[in-house]
Chain A
């Protein structure tokens, strides 16, 4: 529980900037799971169908 009361210091922006390239990679994963219909993944309907129930239940538009 120590962290609930311990103040934390800001991480300098130059150190954060080093990790920015991870963001597009992570967003690509989210896109492939939630929205791709074959245009990027090149698997046709396969990826869409494999993620089908997850898409519906995570609340993303699906077919």
Chain B
């Protein structure tokens, strides 16, 4: 059963990743190209002395990349790049596909643990609810604090700090979601409105605290077009929306079929519906409405 769910999760994740890659290729790549064009126009090629650029040093982008030039050789987007632009665009599908595979596998195991213990009683609904919660925790919460940036935005020297802060806010999002679910379960005897408010509070208090307490990152070069930044960020968020929507539907459908098959073969043996693990949960009519 767990193995079947894991395999379905890997497949659903891979497929959803490729679908999201298709969205990102169509709606995101043009903005990546525009940003790289700006980056190359602003930065002199690495083999020329910094400052010989015709654009002058009054452009903040040129300043930023000029400062970073000595240790920036690993990240040229030009002809001397380690990976050419066409290969990077193919790599997009590899990246989103592998991301989906990894996320789908972890999701399936978490789902197997939640199943029958927390959330909606049926697999399809639980998959959709869990995918929505995961999207909120892993994408939305980080995006509000540290939104996606196109190339040419972000100081290469701070990548380790920014990555660490990003991991921290992802963990905060996951922890806050867990706190919200636990709070809702604790308030299970209360009426639904109290339960929803308790869950929202359990989620929002740690998330808003993290948004306020974690240091901000403001590395957008002064001359960078605001429209391009906005459109890139919307395309990036859209990529994640497409991924989680596709994954939720695919995995929900797959897990539904797994449980239907499982039920068909084992239903006579596991007939008693009241097991010790489900006794603390609210009665099913409330959760399925």
- Residues of A participating in the B interface, judged by any CB pair closer than 8 Å: 1-11, 13, 15-16, 18-20, 22-23, 26-27, 29-30, 32-35, 37, 44-46, 48-63
- For the complex, what is the distance from the CA of A29 to the CA of B115, rounded to whole Å? 25
A-B residue pairs in contact (CB < 8 Å), sample of 29 = A2-B260, A3-B122, A3-B255, A4-B125, A6-B260, A8-B126, A8-B259, A9-B278, A10-B116, A15-B2, A26-B101, A27-B102, A33-B98, A33-B99, A34-B99, A44-B74, A49-B75, A49-B91, A51-B94, A53-B89, A54-B92, A56-B150, A57-B92, A58-B24, A58-B240, A59-B139, A59-B236, A60-B148, A63-B159
| Closest A residue, CB atoms, query B84 | A49
- For the complex, what is the distance from the CA of A45 to the CA of B142, rounded to whole Å? 25
The smallest beta-carbon distance between A33 and chain B, in angstroms, is 5
Q: Name the A residues within 8 Å of B28 (CB-CB).
A: 53, 56-57
Q: Name the B residues within 8 Å of A61 (CB-CB).
A: 146, 149, 154, 159, 162-163, 166
State the main secondary structure of chain B at its contact with A.
helix
The smallest beta-carbon distance between B66 and chain A, in angstroms, is 16
Q: Name the B residues within 8 Å of A18 (CB-CB).
A: 2
Contact of B122 among A8, A20, A55, A63 (CB under 8 A): A8
Please count the residue pairs between chain A and chain B whose beta carbons lie under 8 angstroms apart in the complex.
195
Knowing A54-B24, A56-B236 touch, does A19 contact B284 (C-beta < 8 A)? no
B74-102 interface (Cβ within 8 A of A): 74-75, 81-83, 87-89, 91-96, 98-99, 101-102
The smallest beta-carbon distance between B85 and chain A, in angstroms, is 9
Q: Name the B residues within 8 Å of A62 (CB-CB).
A: 149, 151, 154, 159
B140-181 interface (Cβ within 8 A of A): 142-143, 146-151, 154, 156, 159, 162-163, 166-167
Q: Name the A residues within 8 Å of B83 (CB-CB).
A: 46, 49-50, 52
B186 within 8 A of A: no
Q: Name the B residues within 8 Å of A55 (CB-CB).
A: 95
Q: Mark B181-225, 1 if CB is under 8 A from A, else 0.
A: 000000000000000000000000000000000000000000000
- For the complex, what is the distance from the CA of A60 to the CA of B257, rounded to whole Å? 34
Kindly specify which of B45-53, B55-63, B106-114 makes contact with the partner chain: B106-114
Leading 3 A-B pairs by shortest Cβ distance: A54-B95, A3-B256, A10-B116
